[in-house]
Amino acid sequence: MRRGSGILLHVTSLPSPYGIGDLGPWAYRFVDFLSKCKQSLWQILPLNPTDPAHYNSPYHSTSAFACNPLLISPECLVQDGLLKRAEVKSPPDFPMERVDYRGIGSYKERLFNKAHEGFKGKRPQYEYEKFCSENSHWLEDFALFMALKSHFDGRVWSDWPQEVRDRQPKTLQSAQKELHEKVEMVKFLQYVFSGQWNTLKRYCNQAGIQIIGDIPIYVEHDSADVWTHPGIFKLDNEKRPCAVAGVPPDYFSETGQRWGNPVYRWDVLKKEAYSWWIQRMERNLKLCDILRIDHFRGLVAYWEVPATENTAINGKWVEVPTMQFLNHLMRRFPFLPIIAEDLGLITPDVREIMHHFELPGMKVLLFAFGEDLPTNPYIPHNLVENCVLYTGTHDNNTVRGWFEEEATPGEKGRLFHYLGREAPVEELHWELIRLAMMSVANIVIFSIQDILGLGGEARMNRPATTEGNWQWRLLPEQLTNPLAERLLEMTEIYGRT
């Protein structure tokens, strides 16, 4: 990766009058802002559908392949002739500062129904049929899964009638006919998203900006993926997980973390030449230019917990055939552009794999002042070129929030010692941005909240909590020319244009 810098901002956080950031005009304005600042990267969170049952986290989805229809732009639907201007002219009075997931669901559903009715009358539909054909390996099952989930009132698929749960061919054929309209609606929304996203991505790339996407290593049990491919997951006879993912007890938690996702059967994946993972990577590399793999260490060895356990204490480490798996990926994608999320306690075997495949890892500047400066692995003077340096990620507080709410007196002292002076809190975010910019790290990424110098109220996620996350939004007036000029100047000074 060449030397550059970029901004972390999920699509949901963009301004929009429709209750949630989307792929419409403000997405293009944000790309223009990036271009004006000579940024080369836009990092987003996973694009997959979100679920109110999982508090709308983009890391808990019903599909590893589908995209979130809530991000579809009503204004782009008008441009494409699928809605009339009057139909989107007066949306409800949604809050601008936070995403109103509850309100936008019902509002956009009404718009989508109108758009679909208009679309069905259009002929020919060559582009739609082409999209469905090219994506049939995941789209057909996902569409039927979502239609069935609605039909069965949102129940987990393992609680569906046995013949549906076990995908008996005659039963699925009957369901396809009975639920035809719902199935077609799901496919239509994925087609519309694809068109809007591809247009936006071309606009980014033409401006010299690459998109960094995000892949959660595990998938939800209640997903189309596990229903369709139960053989590659550790499930019991009732198709429920018999082993789940997590992390072992450590300094931060005496009981570890029991995530609950079903773990992979790597022996089966190996026999199938890792076809599901290859299809997943191929799909995501069409959506994004670079991919961050969340919890990369789980691709080397993972912590497996019996599903009957309430905590992660009684788990065990299970090795993955990593070399063979990554060699398969490298043969299919010779220049595999991935970033390995390697935060936390990382063992030598993970480091060895990353070094062998020359995979860049992640560093977080907020972690740089918690211990002795000369040896801290996150301090700029200890970094290597082949890494991606963040001021903070979506799981961290903002720079200002960290300083005001979390930093110890020792951390503050070490920070000011490293800077060579005490800095006012109003300027502290720029001091850390400067430290990142001048580092040897090939890539540096800043959250838009840190560019703006916002406090803890603007953070995107608080791990181990459920309420109030994934809701923060950028306000239209916050992307100012002086802000762009200041970021541009620093980008040019440190050779990241």
Paired residues of 292 in beta bridges: 214, 339
Strand 210-216 and strand 243-247: the pairing is unpaired
Give kind and range of the element (H or E) at residue 105.
helix 101-120
What is the C-alpha to C-alpha distance for residues 233 and 457, in angstroms, rounded to an integer?
39
Which three-class secondary structure state does DSSP give residue 480? coil
294 classed as catalytic: yes
Are 88 and 74 in contact, with CB atoms under 8 Å apart? yes
How crowded is residue 4: how many other Cβ atoms within 10 Å of its Cβ? Answer: 20
What is the C-alpha to C-alpha distance for residues 195 and 199, in angstroms, rounded to an integer?
6
Are 219 and 283 in contact, with CB atoms under 8 Å apart? no
* Chain CA centroid to CA 323, Å: 25
Angle between helix 180-206 and helix 169-178 axes, rounded to 10 deg: 80
153 classed as catalytic: no
* Chain CA centroid to CA 359, Å: 19
Strands (E) located in 117-192? none
- Of 125, 119, 115, 106, give the one whose Cα is nearest residue 83: 115
Catalytic residue among 294, 304, 342, 450: 294
Tokens of 319: 């090795």
DSSP state of 115: H
341 classed as catalytic: yes
Catalytic residue among 289, 309, 395, 404: 395
Q: Give me the DSSP letters along 336-367.
A: --EEE---S---HHHHHHHHHHT--EEEEGGG
Half-sphere exposure (CA, 13 Å, Cβ side) for 226?
Answer: 24
Are 227 and 296 in contact, with CB atoms under 8 Å apart? no
Catalytic residue among 220, 341, 411, 450: 341
How crowded is residue 174: how many other Cβ atoms within 10 Å of its Cβ? Answer: 13
Residue located via tokens 């570890």: 256
The residues annotated as belonging to the active site are: 294, 341, 395
